[in-house]
């Protein structure tokens, strides 16, 4: 009998291992199910992107001559769960076995472990070969180390892949890392090129209507949808980035600017994660640009490090540490997520910009996620579970394997330092250095107390003081602790009082649990 080849929504890849060795009678199953659309209340654009990518991918497989059974969300017989649809399809096709690819999320892996019992069929789970580092390879690397430093993992990935290498131990340019060249703010008057948009085609428009109908109360605007949803469009998005933004990607990687939601970033995370763009190809395209002389090494190396380094590393950490990883709360942060994370209604210009574009575009770039919404959550002591859920909801590229280590570990330090050796805490001075937000802000970034004081300032010092005992064990935190110790105690008291009043005000503004995000 036929094998049922299950392809999940974020597995829309020609090279997917579940499709290897397809027999003529085998059937591919793809199913749109409510359970996957609602396990968090994903941004409307994210659901539209996944469903549209799925529909396009099904058509692509059919064009390749494969048999595809595709269940739509509004199919009356749809059980609306993955397990239910797999069981139904197994019966429908008289399948004798099930073949799938390792899923991206722990939650789905647990579900898949029940498929054998539910169907009475053997389930073969194959490696997700779209990643460069296998889970075993990562475990072997991690097993020998006390500290899991991304930089050392990345160097092994460079050696093993040969990307940006001249000889086995010789990185291109004689250095592994050019990060110190990548810290510039956007110069006044410099206008970043607008990224290419991919306006919805008929398939995407259908899906958008479906999403508007089926998930009206999910967060986010649909109308600005411009994501690539096919491999061809994702390739074009990559080319557009390499030609127009890659050369300046390195220098302005950490910059932020009012009215510039994307700067020199690639906007390919959603395409990579849904499977329509191959990470090896993204690295190769950047390397080719360097070899042609079209992009400098600091930019190309910086970009490759994000994909070959960070992206593979966070996935490794996730599968190494789950399920315990998401339960930790090293800084004992318990505050509810303030309502302005959903509404964008805050007078802090940097937060308003980051949240506003997140609602409209399902996108914010790395420094906004880490140093604006993430930093605020860290300083204010927001509950990691609530913050993690917010990041899972709001971004088009959000999947737990990549979202969780970045949020729980890197931004919130809730993992106690697995991901990052110190908390990424910063005062308003950092935001002022890297952006122009402060100029138009209602608050004064130079003030740490008083009615107009930038909340990032008193919250930062309150955070350092609150966690002084713990931070004292970390040599990398010696500087701020020394500065705090030398400060006028009257000023410290004033900042801490103001922090308390501000945080009490946030509590009052937090929506009751279960409130719906709009």
Q: Which residue, 115 or 342, is less far from ligand FAD as judged by CB?
A: 342
> Cα separation of 23 and 40, whole Å?
36
Subset of 272-301 contacting ligand FAD (CB under 6 A): 272-273
Q: How far is the CB of 289 from ligand DLZ (least distance, A)?
A: 30
5 binds ligand FAD (CB under 6 A): no
- Of ligand DLZ, ligand FAD, none, which one sits near residue 36, judging by CB under 5 to 8 A according to partner kind? ligand DLZ
Chain-centroid distance of CA 198 in Å reads 21
Longest dimension (CA), the chain: 79
Q: Which residue, 42 or 437, is less far from ligand FAD as judged by CB?
A: 42
382 binds ligand DLZ (CB under 6 A): no
- Of ligand FAD, ligand DLZ, none, which one sits near residue 265, judging by CB under 5 to 8 A according to partner kind? ligand FAD
**CB-hemisphere CA count at 13 Å for 297?**
12
Site string for ligand DLZ, 46-65 (x = CB under 6 A): -x--x---------------
Contact 314, 406 (CB under 8 A): yes
Phi, psi of 117 (to 5 degrees): -65, -40
User: DSSP assignment of 344-413, as one string?
Assistant: ---S-HHHHHHHHHHHHHS---HHIIIIIIIHHHHHHTB-HHHHHHHHHHH-TT--HHHHHIIIIIIIT-
71 binds ligand DLZ (CB under 6 A): no
How far are the Cα atoms of 89, 133, 180, 353, 458 from residue 92, in angstroms, in the given order? 5, 36, 58, 50, 63
Checking phi first, is residue 95 left (phi over 0); if not, alpha (psi -120 to 50) or beta? Answer: beta
| Binder of ligand FAD out of 138, 341, 390, 391 (CB under 6 A) | 391
| Binder of ligand FAD out of 41, 93, 321, 365 (CB under 6 A) | 365
Q: Are strands 123-126 and 68-71 parallel, antiparallel or unpaired?
A: unpaired
Q: Which residue, 85 or 400, is less far from ligand FAD as judged by CB?
A: 400
Q: How far is the CB of 371 from ligand FAD (least distance, A)?
A: 8
270 binds ligand DLZ (CB under 6 A): no
Q: How far is the CB of 328 from ligand FAD (least distance, A)?
A: 16
Q: Which residue, 93 or 102, is less far from ligand DLZ as judged by CB?
A: 102
User: DSSP assignment of 85-120, as one string?
Assistant: HHHHHHHHHT-SEEEEE--SSHHHHHHHTTHHHHHS
Contact 315, 131 (CB under 8 A): yes
29 binds ligand DLZ (CB under 6 A): no
Residue whose C-alpha is closest to residue 150's, from 164, 138, 162? 138
Site string for ligand DLZ, 384-423 (x = CB under 6 A): ---------------x------------------------
Residues that bind ligand DLZ (CB under 6 A): 8-10, 31-33, 36-37, 42, 47, 50, 103-105, 108, 399
Residues that bind ligand FAD (CB under 6 A): 265-269, 272-273, 306-307, 310-311, 314, 365-366, 369-370, 374, 391, 395, 397-398, 402-403, 406-407, 410-411
């Amino acid at each position: 009998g036929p094998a049922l080849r299950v392809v999940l929504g974020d597995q829309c890849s020609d090279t997917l291992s579940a499709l290897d060795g397809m027999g003529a009678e085998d059937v591919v199953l793809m199913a749109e199910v409510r359970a996957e659309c609602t396990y968090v209340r994903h941004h409307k654009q994210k659901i539209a992107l996944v469903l549209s990518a799925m529909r396009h991918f099904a058509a692509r497989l059919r064009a390749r001559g494969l048999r595809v059974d595709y269940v739509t969300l509004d199919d009356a017989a749809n059980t609306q769960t993955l397990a239910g649809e797999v069981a139904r399809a197994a019966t429908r096709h008289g399948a004798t076995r099930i073949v799938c690819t390792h899923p991206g999320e722990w939650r789905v892996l647990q579900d898949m472990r029940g498929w054998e019992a539910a169907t009475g069929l053997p389930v073969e789970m194959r490696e997700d070969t779209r990643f460069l580092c296998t889970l075993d390879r990562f475990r072997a690397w991690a097993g020998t180390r006390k500290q899991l430093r991304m930089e050392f993992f990345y160097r092994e990935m460079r050696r093993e892949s040969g990307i940006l290498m001249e000889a086995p131990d010789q990185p291109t340019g004689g250095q592994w890392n050019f990060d110190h060249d990548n810290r510039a703010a956007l110069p006044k008057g410099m206008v970043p090129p607008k990224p290419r948009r991919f306006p919805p085609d008929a398939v995407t428009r259908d899906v958008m209507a479906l999403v508007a109908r089926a998930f009206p109360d999910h967060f986010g605007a649909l109308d600005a949808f411009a994501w690539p949803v096919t491999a061809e469009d994702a390739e074009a998005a990559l080319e557009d980035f390499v030609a127009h933004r890659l050369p300046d990607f390195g220098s302005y990687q950490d910059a932020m600017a009012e009215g510039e939601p994307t700067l020199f970033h690639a906007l390919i995370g959603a395409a990579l994660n849904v499977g329509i763009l191959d990470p090896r190809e993204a690295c190769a395209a950047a390397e080719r640009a360097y070899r042609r002389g079209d992009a400098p090494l600091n930019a190309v190396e910086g970009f490759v490090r994000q994909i070959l380094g960070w992206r593979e590393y966070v996935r490794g950490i996730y599968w190494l540490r789950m399920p315990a990883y998401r339960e930790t709360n090293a800084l004992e942060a318990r505050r509810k997520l303030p309502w302005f994370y959903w509404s964008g209604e805050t007078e802090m210009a940097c937060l308003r910009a980051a949240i506003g574009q997140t609602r409209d575009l399902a996108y914010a770039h790395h420094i906004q996620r880490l140093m604006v919404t993430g930093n605020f959550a860290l300083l204010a002591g927001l509950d990691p579970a609530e913050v993690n859920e917010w990041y899972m909801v709001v971004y088009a590229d959000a999947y737990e394997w990549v979202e969780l280590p970045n949020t729980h570990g890197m931004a919130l330090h809730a993992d106690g330092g697995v991901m990052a050796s110190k908390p990424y805490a910063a005062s308003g001075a950092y935001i002022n250095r890297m952006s122009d937000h402060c100029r138009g802000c209602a608050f004064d970034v130079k003030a740490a107390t008083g009615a107009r004081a930038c909340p990032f300032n008193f919250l930062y010092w309150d955070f350092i003081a609150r966690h002084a005992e713990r931070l004292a064990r970390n040599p990398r935190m010696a500087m701020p602790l020394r500065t705090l110790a030398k400060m006028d105690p009257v000023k410290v008291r004033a900042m801490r009082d103001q922090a308390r009043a501000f945080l009490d005000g946030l509590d009052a503004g937090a929506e009751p649990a279960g409130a719906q995000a709009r």
